[in-house]
Structure 1
Amino acid sequence: MDVPLPHLDRPFDYLVPEALDADARPGVRVKVRFAGQLVDGWLLERVAESAHPKLAYLEKVVSAVPVLSPDVARLARAVADRYAGSLADVLRLAVPPRHARAEKAVTAADAPPTDAPSVAAPPADTPAPNSDPTSGAAAPPAAPDAPAPDAVDPRGWGDYPAGPALLRALAAGRAPRAVWSALPGENWADRYADAVAATVAGGRGAVVVVADARDLDRLDAALNTVLGPGRHVRLTAADGPARRYRAFLTAHRGEVDVVIGTRAAMFAPVRRLGLVAVWDDGDDLHAEPRAPYPHARDVLLTRAQLGGTAALVGGYARTAEAQLLVETGWAREVVADRAVVRARTPAMAPTGDDPQLARDPGAASARLPSLAWSTARDALRADLPVLVQVPRRGYVPSIACAECRLPARCPHCAGPLALPAAQGIPACRWCGRVAAAYACPECGGRRLRASVTGARRTAEELGRAFPGVPVRTSGREEVLAGVPGGAGLVIATPGAEPVAEGGYGAVLLLDSWALLTRADLRAGEEAFRRWTAAAALARPGASGGRVVVVADGALAPVQALLRWDAAWFAARELAERRELGFPPAVRMASVTGPAEAVADLLAGAPLPDEAEVLGPVPAEEGRERMLVRVPRARAAALADALHAAAGRRSARKAADPVRLQVDPLTLF
Structure 2
Amino acid sequence: MDEPLFPAATTAHGQVPVAETDPVARVLVDHPVPHLARAFDYAVPLTLAEAAQPGVRVRVKFAGRLRDGYILERTEFSDHVGPLAVIERITSPLPVLTPLLVELCEAVATRYAGTLPDVLRLAIPPRHARAEKAVLAEVSARPATRQSPPEQATTEADSESDSNSESDVETDEDTTPVLTALGTWVADGSAPPLPSALADAAGATSARLALTVTPGRLPGLGWITAGLVAARAALSAGSSVLWLVPDHREIAVLSAALDAEVARGTIDEYTALHADQSPEQRWTAWLRGLLGRTRLLIGTRAAAFAPLADLGVIICTDDANQNYLDQHAPYPHAREVCLLRSNLEDTGLLFVSTDRSAEVERLVEIGWLTDISPSATDRRAASPRVVVPDEDRDPYAWQRIPSRAWEIMREALHPRGDEAAGPVLVQVPRAGYYPVFACARCQETARCPVCESPLSTQSEVGPFACRTCGYHSETFTCSRCRSHQVRSIVRGRTRTVEELSKALPGVEIVESGGENIPIAVDFTPRVIVATTGAEPYAIGGYAAGILLDSLWPGPWMRASDEGVRRRMRAASLVRARTDGGVVYLGDSDEVIRGALTTFDPAVTMARALHDRRELGFPPYRRIVELTGTGTDIDAVLGEVPELEELTRDEDEAGQKVVAAYPIAAGPHIGTRLAEITSARSAKKLPQVRVRIDDPRSL
Whole-angstrom CA distance in 2 between matches of 1:262 and 1:155: 23
Q: How does 1:481-520 map to 2 (within 5 A)?
A: 481-515=519-553, 518-520=554-556
Give the alignment partner of residue 25 of structure 1, picking from 48, 53, 71: 53
Contact 1:161–1:335, Cα closer than 8 Å, also in 2: no
Confirm whether residue 244 of structure 1 aligns to residue 244 of structure 2. Answer: no
1:662, distance to aligned residue in structure 2 (A): 0.6
Whole-angstrom CA distance in 2 between matches of 1:258 and 1:409: 41
Confirm whether residue 666 of structure 1 aligns to residue 696 of structure 2. Answer: yes
1:504, distance to aligned residue in structure 2 (A): 1.5
Partner of 2:594: 559
Contact 2:424–2:542, Cα closer than 8 Å, also in 1: yes
The one-letter code of the counterpart of 2:314 is V
1:464, distance to aligned residue in structure 2 (A): 2.0
1:144, distance to aligned residue in structure 2 (A): 4.3
Whole-angstrom CA distance in 2 between matches of 1:234 and 1:410: 38
Whole-angstrom CA distance in 1 between matches of 2:369 and 2:625: 28
Give the alignment partner of residue 81 of structure 1, picking from 106, 110, 114: 110
Give the SS at the match of 1:514. Answer: coil
Partner of 2:626: 591
Deviations 1:108-136 (A, max 9, x none): 345689xxxxxxxxxxxxxxxxxxxxxxx
1:280, distance to aligned residue in structure 2 (A): 0.2
Confirm whether residue 175 of structure 1 aligns to residue 209 of structure 2. Answer: no
1:175, distance to aligned residue in structure 2 (A): 1.1
Confirm whether residue 617 of structure 1 aligns to residue 666 of structure 2. Answer: no
Partner of 2:254: 219
The one-letter code of the counterpart of 1:44 is L
Unaligned 5+ runs, structure 1? 114-137, 147-151, 418-429
Confirm whether residue 357 of structure 1 aligns to residue 391 of structure 2. Answer: yes
Partner of 2:445: 402
Whole-angstrom CA distance in 1 between matches of 2:195 and 2:395: 41
Partner of 2:70: 42
Deviations 1:420-459 (A, max 9, x none): xxxxxxxxxx99xxx9xx6248x99999762442222222
Whole-angstrom CA distance in 2 between matches of 1:397 and 1:525: 16
Confirm whether residue 91 of structure 1 aligns to residue 123 of structure 2. Answer: no
Whole-angstrom CA distance in 2 between matches of 1:409 and 1:320: 24
Contact 1:86–1:292, Cα closer than 8 Å, also in 2: yes
Q: How does 1:71-150 map to 2 (within 5 A)?
A: 71-109=100-138, 142-145=147-150
Contact 1:28–1:61, Cα closer than 8 Å, also in 2: yes
Contact 1:394–1:456, Cα closer than 8 Å, also in 2: no
1:636, distance to aligned residue in structure 2 (A): 1.7
Contact 2:425–2:545, Cα closer than 8 Å, also in 1: yes
Whole-angstrom CA distance in 2 between matches of 1:410 and 1:336: 40
Whole-angstrom CA distance in 2 between matches of 1:408 and 1:255: 51
Q: How does 1:125-524 map to 2 (within 5 A)?
A: 142-145=147-150, 156=191, 158-169=193-204, 174-184=205-215, 185=219, 186-227=221-262, 228=265, 231-351=269-389, 356-363=390-397, 365-382=398-415, 383-393=421-431, 399-400=437-438, 401-402=444-445, 404=447, 405-407=454-456, 439-440=478-479, 450-515=488-553, 518-524=554-560
Q: Evaluate the alpha carbon distance shift between residue 396 and residue 221 of structure 1 in structure 2; reply closer, same or farther with a 3 A threshold.
A: same
Partner of 2:659: 628
Give the alignment partner of residue 527 of structure 1, picking from 560, 563, 567: 563
Whole-angstrom CA distance in 2 between matches of 1:357 and 1:473: 29
The one-letter code of the counterpart of 1:439 is C
Contact 2:52–2:93, Cα closer than 8 Å, also in 1: yes
Deviations 1:385-416 (A, max 9, x none): 210111224898983353753247999x8667
The one-letter code of the counterpart of 2:529 is I
Whole-angstrom CA distance in 2 between matches of 1:109 and 1:503: 41
Partner of 2:14: none
Partner of 1:642: 673
1:154, distance to aligned residue in structure 2 (A): 13
The one-letter code of the counterpart of 2:649 is V
1:309, distance to aligned residue in structure 2 (A): 0.3
Give the SS at the match of 2:74. Answer: coil
Q: Evaluate the alpha carbon distance shift between residue 648 and residue 464 of structure 1 in structure 2; reply closer, same or farther with a 3 A threshold.
A: same
Contact 1:398–1:416, Cα closer than 8 Å, also in 2: no
Whole-angstrom CA distance in 1 between matches of 2:364 and 2:432: 40
Q: Evaluate the alpha carbon distance shift between residue 189 and residue 607 of structure 1 in structure 2; reply closer, same or farther with a 3 A threshold.
A: same
Aligned-residue RMSD, C-alpha? 3.1
1:509, distance to aligned residue in structure 2 (A): 1.1
Q: Evaluate the alpha carbon distance shift between residue 143 and residue 616 of structure 1 in structure 2; reply closer, same or farther with a 3 A threshold.
A: same
Unaligned 5+ runs, structure 2? 1-28, 152-186, 416-420, 439-443, 448-453, 466-473
Whole-angstrom CA distance in 1 between matches of 2:661 and 2:321: 25
Give the SS at the match of 2:42. Answer: coil
Whole-angstrom CA distance in 2 between matches of 1:305 and 1:409: 40
Q: Evaluate the alpha carbon distance shift between residue 595 and residue 194 of structure 1 in structure 2; reply closer, same or farther with a 3 A threshold.
A: same
The one-letter code of the counterpart of 1:108 is A
The one-letter code of the counterpart of 1:633 is A
The one-letter code of the counterpart of 1:100 is A
Partner of 1:426: none
Whole-angstrom CA distance in 2 between matches of 1:336 and 1:112: 47
Give the SS at the match of 1:345. Answer: coil
Whole-angstrom CA distance in 1 between matches of 2:537 and 2:570: 9
Contact 1:190–1:219, Cα closer than 8 Å, also in 2: no
Deviations 1:283-322 (A, max 9, x none): 1001001000000110011000001000011101000101
Q: Evaluate the alpha carbon distance shift between residue 395 and residue 640 of structure 1 in structure 2; reply closer, same or farther with a 3 A threshold.
A: closer
Matched residue count: 603
Give the SS at the match of 1:457. Answer: helix
The one-letter code of the counterpart of 1:224 is D
Whole-angstrom CA distance in 1 between matches of 2:645 and 2:603: 32
Deviations 1:522-573 (A, max 9, x none): 11111111111111111111222111111237x1221011101111012122
Give the alignment partner of residue 580 of structure 1, picking from 597, 611, 615: 615
Contact 1:601–1:649, Cα closer than 8 Å, also in 2: no
Give the SS at the match of 1:266. Answer: helix
Partner of 2:20: none
1:644, distance to aligned residue in structure 2 (A): 1.4
Whole-angstrom CA distance in 2 between matches of 1:580 and 1:452: 35
Q: Evaluate the alpha carbon distance shift between residue 445 and residue 381 of structure 1 in structure 2; reply closer, same or farther with a 3 A threshold.
A: farther
The one-letter code of the counterpart of 2:628 is G
1:139, distance to aligned residue in structure 2 (A): 6.4
Partner of 1:128: none
Contact 1:396–1:453, Cα closer than 8 Å, also in 2: no
1:192, distance to aligned residue in structure 2 (A): 1.1
Whole-angstrom CA distance in 2 between matches of 1:153 and 1:362: 43
Whole-angstrom CA distance in 2 between matches of 1:472 and 1:312: 35
Give the SS at the match of 1:270. Answer: coil
Partner of 2:86: 57
The one-letter code of the counterpart of 2:694 is P
Identity across matched positions, percent: 38
Contact 2:433–2:458, Cα closer than 8 Å, also in 1: no
Contact 1:471–1:489, Cα closer than 8 Å, also in 2: yes
Give the SS at the match of 2:671. Answer: helix
Contact 1:318–1:570, Cα closer than 8 Å, also in 2: yes
Q: Evaluate the alpha carbon distance shift between residue 45 and residue 446 of structure 1 in structure 2; reply closer, same or farther with a 3 A threshold.
A: closer
